[in-house]
Structure 1
């Protein structure tokens, strides 16, 4: 007979004989669970109540228990305690040793979430409303249906304010109102989406895929639909200088560029329980740019070093996404660009969408609301592309969980048409077995009716995208105050050299700046210039590769140069000036500094022509001094008497 089982692990069916012992059913149930404690296993004929421990039913047959063909049995259990770690203590005064048992918590309880998640879990997230003079008939301290706070997922509020997606935490409150608390007794409500065949099959009735497959292990048919929530609601660029500096490479070469967005996550007040990604810098990995694209390696060189470095900033930073250019100047006017990404073509190409899904799969978000301890990803895809009037603007997106699951199951591929995604065919090759279930999508036909259509062999890429708004702050306050140092991995265009660093430090007079405890009358202007020059992500990253500064001193360096009060109170430099790494850097700066030129006028003992007046020698010396200020920019080859440390034409450092 067929016995149906329902537990927190899902629904299952087992073929058993009416005379089978309850122990056979228990063994099959345990195979479907995750680390269940058999002693706590209970069964019931109701979803709630009437639970009976199976340990008290041993020896009885299914028929004797009253089970018939097709009956549904509700199963519950507690997870088995993790293997205890025994710590033995030696005998003391002849007393026997004691053993302490240490047990671990659930996977999701041990997850360290981002600070913004901890912030929203501590809030109720309700949307406050003021007293309505038309309908509220109560006093100032009263409350009614017209003025009581709304839930963060209230659909009318989202429609009124043109908010297309729920925020991540608003979505959590909607699907599980009590999931916001940290109670360990609650089952996490978010299950990561997967379209892979379950191996081994839960039914254990056949050989594993690709040798066999059944309804218990094969994925269900997929219907593509807009994702109701988004992991990040807004992308904020801390300063326009960050984008301008990134664009300089494209302006100089015409080749497309790629960069990783370094920043942090903060609460976003324009959306109920919203989250925004704040970008503080762009790190450019090794890459090969082309006029119509680029190629790069993933994972990229130096990724572990950069991730560890930015964690030590005054506000811990991480990688919040990536950005790339897709700009093509028009033939008629080279100052304008081709408008190619719009509703009549595409926003992200199919190839870019699959790349975004791959990156998001590799960077999941730690979450206490998922049984695996992680869910989805907060990495944002940003594109610098042309607007309708030919100017350059940022567009930001994420790809849906369905897109990530389809890429993870190797179900889709890019097509020649950038706005179309192709669905792959089944492949039962032993080494690369692929099962592709039926895929459908809905659209409105010419009569305004919703039609369901098969997505095989292809479907529009827009079904996999999630829009993310973007912008710049009205009052910029970036952590990095400078963006003038040469950017990494721009060979032939910008070169990062130790000599450039030492020259700039000597020009500022850094070797003469000491800890304020030893030099109370230190030059404040020098400190200000040094602080502003050091506060550059590309400079800090480069110093970490010179081996002149130790790892611990690098942590002090980045923490110092990202201090919010760095330019207002330059005494914050004291911790950096006292490090061994800084002293080493200053030693090299002193040794590499050029000697001060002496007077061009010869002394009386060596003068070759006594008839030449002294003012002639002074004039020659002045001309030599003027000619020494003539410098050639290594980037644009402009030769002139530059007044500052940057080229007056291209704006890049003279080096």
Structure 2
């Protein structure tokens, strides 16, 4: 078949077999471009955009890539530097052609990505929206199907409008972007999602000028940006497993009035309220070191303890990770201190510009692994949650994400916060060497007072709402959190709560943990109580800092205490009891137990007390507790002063005559 190629060196035609490997076409292209660097060779089916490096399609035949007779391919590449050896002079007689070697060394990054289990789940489903038989329009039988009852695609616009669903879910959006047709075609083989990048390409793909900031052209400069509402969202719903989790987080603010910050520890699950939806389920809030203030807080980033907490969370059952963060913004009203100022609303702001930029920074640090992106990463599922006042002064959760455009603009250093929390400022262009910043034209659209859509320049500022994506939130009707207790002291609350080993050891003594042995079933009730107390995220995280448990023992500890069937099967604690770390801890608890005061010993006589004194005591006791006329009265023993309930000749304790 005939394949046409267009490059900056001209137009060429090559006659190849459909079963030919892509490396044959690459070799012929390199023959027409002796100065081309094979490692930079890219192909596309359009003049601009969609370029793919040949290393990403190595080993594929022309037919499997969807190429047909007469197809036109657009090729681009960079020229080799003067120090690069010529491809016509291989170093050894057995060397392969450069193009073949380059293709063999390439890799399809997205195919090696290990996605989250929720992504694996949705990729195994078709996501179609089922519809019942329409009694008015359907004229077929019960097993038939027509246009009025056939399932809808998960991205169907009419369905989303009818159900008031503002954003497509990530997988519905992905299904919409994936080309339909032959699964072996080139368009189906390549990832459909390309991450946004507003930075200048350095070096320039054309290679015709000095790199930025010394030079710039249409080939390396980013295009103009039009801000718009993001049509999809990576997370559709934020679910907090229990109200106690939020209540414990709020206790610090209630005691001090200072704002607090915490990382949301949880997992991602399918969400059935949205087609192919994803929800973030929060099982705990971990509070890093911070300095709270009345109107804000100071937080240290990067978070030094994050690797340990992530490793600990991964060992839970099921595995957990960081799904977002939460902070308070509460200000009691002067008139009624039990209510808070309503400050985040449509006429004010939902997230301030500073908070939006902070969210974009964190989302860039926590990307989502995706097989649908050529980089293996796409966007982020990190959720921003705010505990703020409602219109009636009560406290509620508000959840958001920032858009892909927001993350790309922060990455390109294009925007900054302003004094007005609802306004984002666009930075000025800077051509200083080392800190160069290129800012393309930025626009946003809005409807004027006549209902017409108007485009306006976003320089020098624009509303922060253009960067936000709403996320719904809620609590389960039947809570079943992975961690059953929230009673243990929370980390990094100095002056409010303190985590101490002595506190843990005393509770273990009170619960009878010292007497529990693996395999024993006589203490079932006590085991359940111990299991409830141990199933506390903050307790487990604290025990990991005591150096008493090895890394393997900590994995067993968090896996056992987060098991869904822990309370139904308390014998699962045997796996924890058998660890070396637990046995060492129990030894320390036993040896550090406080000594009990000596108990008085009852003897058969009172040799240290004179007999006349004992008789006097007995007489006084007898006078104060006179015996009845019957045989059921109380009698005081003159030797040990014990009250005998039944009349008898001898004392029931010391055995001496009464």
TM-score bucket (shorter structure): 0.7 to 0.9
- Going from structure 1 to structure 2, the CA distance change for 1:449 and 1:486 (only over 3 Å counts) comes to same
Q: Counterpart in 1 of 2:152?
A: 150
2:536 pairs with 1:536: yes
TM-score, normalised to structure 2, is: 0.80
CA distance in 1: counterparts of 2:484 and 2:499, whole angstroms: 19
2:581 pairs with 1:581: yes
Q: Output aligned runs, 1:312-327, within 5 Å.
A: 312-327=315-330
Q: Counterpart in 1 of 2:512?
A: 509
Q: Output aligned runs, 1:251-330, within 5 Å.
A: 251-330=254-333
- Going from structure 1 to structure 2, the CA distance change for 1:326 and 1:250 (only over 3 Å counts) comes to same
Alpha-carbon offset, residue 40 of structure 1:
8.8
- Going from structure 1 to structure 2, the CA distance change for 1:306 and 1:79 (only over 3 Å counts) comes to farther
Contact 1:544 1:554 in 2 (8 A): yes
Q: Counterpart in 2 of 1:96?
A: none
Out of 244, 248, 253, which is 1:245 matched to? Answer: 248
Alpha-carbon offset, residue 377 of structure 1:
0.2
Q: Counterpart in 2 of 1:627?
A: none
Alpha-carbon offset, residue 448 of structure 1:
1.2
Contact 2:4 2:11 in 1 (8 A): no
- Going from structure 1 to structure 2, the CA distance change for 1:47 and 1:343 (only over 3 Å counts) comes to farther
Q: Counterpart in 1 of 2:95?
A: none
Q: Counterpart in 1 of 2:503?
A: 500
CA distance in 2: counterparts of 1:474 and 1:468, whole angstroms: 19
Q: Counterpart in 2 of 1:132?
A: 134
- Going from structure 1 to structure 2, the CA distance change for 1:81 and 1:333 (only over 3 Å counts) comes to same
Contact 1:351 1:413 in 2 (8 A): yes
Q: Counterpart in 2 of 1:594?
A: 594
Q: Counterpart in 2 of 1:112?
A: 114
CA distance in 2: counterparts of 1:492 and 1:549, whole angstroms: 27
Contact 1:36 1:78 in 2 (8 A): no
When Rg is computed on C-alpha atoms for both structures, the one with the higher figure is: 2
CA distance in 1: counterparts of 2:220 and 2:7, whole angstroms: 12
Partner SS, residue 376 of structure 1: strand
Alpha-carbon offset, residue 15 of structure 1:
7.2
Contact 2:4 2:73 in 1 (8 A): no
CA distance in 2: counterparts of 1:361 and 1:482, whole angstroms: 33
The answer for unaligned runs of 5 or more in structure 2 is: 13-28, 43-51, 75-98, 622-658
2:207 pairs with 1:217: no
Q: Counterpart in 2 of 1:390?
A: 393
Alpha-carbon offset, residue 601 of structure 1:
9.1
Q: Counterpart in 1 of 2:432?
A: 429
- Going from structure 1 to structure 2, the CA distance change for 1:449 and 1:615 (only over 3 Å counts) comes to farther
Q: Output aligned runs, 1:141-220, within 5 Å.
A: 141-178=143-180, 186-220=189-223
Partner SS, residue 380 of structure 2: coil
Contact 1:121 1:181 in 2 (8 A): no
CA distance in 2: counterparts of 1:282 and 1:220, whole angstroms: 41
Equivalent residues, number? 561
Partner SS, residue 567 of structure 1: coil
Between 442-451 and 200-209, report the one with greater CA deviation: 442-451
CA distance in 1: counterparts of 2:259 and 2:185, whole angstroms: 49
Contact 1:41 1:78 in 2 (8 A): no
Q: Counterpart in 2 of 1:346?
A: 349
Out of 51, 54, 59, which is 1:36 matched to? Answer: 54
The answer for unaligned runs of 5 or more in structure 1 is: 55-76, 84-103, 618-655
TM-score, normalised to structure 1, is: 0.80
Alpha-carbon offset, residue 81 of structure 1:
3.9
Alpha-carbon offset, residue 301 of structure 1:
2.2
Alpha-carbon offset, residue 525 of structure 1:
1.5
- Going from structure 1 to structure 2, the CA distance change for 1:182 and 1:342 (only over 3 Å counts) comes to farther
CA distance in 2: counterparts of 1:347 and 1:311, whole angstroms: 33
Contact 1:179 1:186 in 2 (8 A): no
Partner SS, residue 574 of structure 2: helix
CA distance in 2: counterparts of 1:602 and 1:343, whole angstroms: 79
Q: Counterpart in 2 of 1:58?
A: none
Q: Counterpart in 1 of 2:69?
A: 49
Between 205-214 and 294-303, report the one with greater CA deviation: 294-303
Contact 1:511 1:590 in 2 (8 A): yes
Alpha-carbon offset, residue 268 of structure 1:
0.2
Q: Counterpart in 1 of 2:637?
A: none
Q: Counterpart in 2 of 1:463?
A: 466
2:469 pairs with 1:475: no
- Going from structure 1 to structure 2, the CA distance change for 1:523 and 1:215 (only over 3 Å counts) comes to same
Q: Counterpart in 2 of 1:418?
A: 421
CA distance in 2: counterparts of 1:118 and 1:601, whole angstroms: 70
CA distance in 1: counterparts of 2:181 and 2:284, whole angstroms: 35
Contact 2:370 2:377 in 1 (8 A): yes
